[in-house]
């Protein structure tokens, strides 16, 4: 992934959040505060503005880090620290000036690790990790098998979407949804859903 692809990915993610923010908030209303879509919409709109002001010649890692810093400063609740922390960690781990598929997978693995550290979540807890982890694992397998970025990103998006759907029968063990206990069963996790949107955005721009 080079700088142009990183920029295109984040802009595509912002557009996806803009289109789906109402659905994300509806999902969150069932098991949380109901503001997940609103918060992410505001945050990614700010990311778009920040990217437009970046000096020329930035590396892909610097682009991801800048987006993460913006989300940390603009998004309330858990979403800002988690998504912002993930992007900053991925940016810091990103090879300079660009990354092959193995490097991208490693950077996003670093982002996932940061999310797990911040939220204390693991797969099966009904959080964004349930979409993030299978997506990264799909990228890692694709890198081992010699796939192109486009092929790998499609596999990662599919894995993230399956992971998001798999949260429906889970009982939440982390975050505000965990306060509902068994009543959290039957609802798709909004964080996993937005994570799947972001990986689908990567698949849309990958070449």
Task: State the pLDDT at residue 78.
Answer: 84
ω before 97 within 30° of 0 (cis)?
yes
Ranges of each domain in the chain = 3-205
Say what the pTM is: 0.96
Q: Residue by residue, what is the 3-state secondary structure of the chain?
A: CCHHHHHHHHHHHHHHHHHHHHHHHHHHHHHCCCCHHHHHHHHHHHHHHHHHCCCCCCCHHHHHHHHHHHHHHHCCCCHHHHHHHHHHHHHHHCCCCCCCHHHHHHHHHHHHHHHHHHHCCCCCCCCCHHHHHHHHHHHHHHHHCCCCHHHHHHHHHHHHHHHHHHCCCCCCCCCHHHHHHHHHCCCCCHHHHHHHHHHHHHHHHCC
* Closest listed residue to residue 126, CA positions, set 194, 178, 199: 178
Q: Does the domain at residues 3-205 carry the CATH identifier 1.25.40.340?
A: yes
Q: What are the average pLDDT values for consecutive 10-residue runs of the chain, which has 207 residues?
A: 96 98 97 94 96 94 97 87 97 91 97 96 98 98 97 98 98 94 97 98 97
Task: State the pLDDT at residue 79.
Answer: 87
Task: State the pLDDT at residue 124.
Answer: 98
Taking the C-alpha atoms of residue 112 and residue 89, their distance in angstroms, rounded to an integer, is: 9
pLDDT tens for each residue of 10-48 = 999 999 999 999 999 999 999 999 999 999 999 999 999
Task: State the pLDDT at residue 77.
Answer: 78
């Amino acid at each position: 992934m080079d700088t142009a692809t990183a920029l295109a990915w984040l802009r595509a993610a912002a557009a996806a959040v803009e289109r789906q923010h109402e659905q994300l908030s509806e999902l969150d209303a069932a098991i949380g505060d109901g503001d997940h879509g609103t918060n992410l919409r505001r945050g990614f709109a700010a990311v778009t503005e920040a990217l437009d002001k970046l000096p020329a010649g930035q590396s892909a890692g610097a682009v991801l880090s800048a987006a993460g810093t913006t989300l940390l400063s603009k998004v309330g609740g858990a979403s800002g620290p988690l998504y912002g922390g993930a992007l900053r960690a991925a940016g810091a781990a990103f090879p300079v000036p660009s990354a092959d598929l193995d490097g991208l997978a490693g950077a996003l693995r670093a982002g996932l690790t940061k999310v797990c550290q911040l939220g204390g979540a693991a797969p099966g807890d009904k959080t964004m990790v349930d979409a993030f982890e299978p997506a990264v694992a799909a990228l890692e397998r694709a890198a081992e098998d010699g796939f192109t970025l486009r092929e790998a990103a499609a596999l990662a998006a599919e894995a993230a979407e399956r992971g998001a759907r798999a949260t429906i029968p889970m009982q939440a063990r982390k975050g505000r949804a965990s306060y509902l206990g068994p009543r959290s069963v039957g609802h798709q996790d909004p964080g996993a859903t937005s994570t799947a949107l972001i990986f689908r955005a990567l698949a849309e721009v990958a070449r």
